[in-house]
Structure 1
Amino acid sequence: MQAKGLAIVPFVPSGRDFDLALLFFSALGFSTVWQTGDMAGLRFGSAYFMLQNVDIPIWQENQMLTLEVDDLDVYWCEIDALDLPSSYSGVRTRAPHEYPWGRELHIIDPAGVCWHVRQSAQAGK
């Protein structure tokens, strides 16, 4: 195979409130690159996904994504200071924790999707 894959761009469900989801992801550092109808492209550094205006609880409660950041501790301080669970119903956050595969924090977004956030192995290289 001569062609090389460059990225996987997941579709992420917004849950019941698409506009609220856009605000939530903005608070996490994502900017809306484009928006049309029931879709939006969101970017944070080189991380990118498509937010879809759909509410399918069985999907949302079973989807997990991993976001890599350049400094996990700085990112945690920034999002912890926002107290997102107080502003967004259903949102939960968990401080960085050590796992056998590495250190990461967790965020449950307003739709119920679980985000694993870890420091990139490329950070500092």
Structure 2
Amino acid sequence: MKNLQIKNVMAFVPAKDFQLSSRFYEDLGFTKAIATDKSAQFVMQGYGFWLQDYYVDAWAANAMLCLYVEDIDAWAKHLDSLDLINGYGGVAKVLAAPHAQEGGIMMQFCDPAGVLWHVRENGVSADIGTRTQT
């Protein structure tokens, strides 16, 4: 039998200004684990993504990531403390404060390239992989 065990899945995220986006994600709390001239892997608590020094407007405008958290109010305060509008070229911003939506609490923000992040408390989570499939 083949060993098809998955260790991780990571999305690639576009950056219009690679240095600005790198600083944004570090300020958010991610650690730059691996870096090359054109990409960097950012991780936090074992989860992460690859930031690319590559930008296509349609890709950035349609890219979305979902961050499942234990305490959304703590994340809202953290994002507020970063003063996104003034700190990241006027592009990164909180789009929606925590609110009830589809079985949980959710908020949204976008990064300096316009990538949309959904932050969710409750609802479907990263534990989905532990479900039994039939």
What's the TM-score, normalizing by structure 2?
Answer: 0.82
CA distance in 2, matches of 1:47, 1:70: 14
Task: Give the Å deviation of 1:108.
Answer: 0.9
Q: Who is 1:90 aligned against?
A: 91
Does 1:77 find its partner at 2:77?
Answer: yes
Identity level (%): 34
Does 1:116 find its partner at 2:118?
Answer: yes
- Higher radius of gyration, 1 or 2: 2
Q: 1:41 is matched by which residue type in structure 2?
A: Q
Instruction: Give unpaired runs (5+ residues) of structure 1.
Output: none
Instruction: Give unpaired runs (5+ residues) of structure 2.
Output: 127-134
What's the TM-score, normalizing by structure 1?
Answer: 0.87
Runs of 4+ in 1 over 3 A off after TM superposition: none
After superposition, give the CA deviation of every residue in 1:53-94 in whole Å (9 maximum; x if it has no partner): 011111000011101223211111111122111211211202
* Structure 1 vs Structure 2 CA RMSD: 1.9
Q: Who is 2:30 aligned against?
A: 30
Q: 2:10 is matched by which residue type in structure 1?
A: V
Aligned length: 122
CA distance in 2, matches of 1:83, 1:58: 26
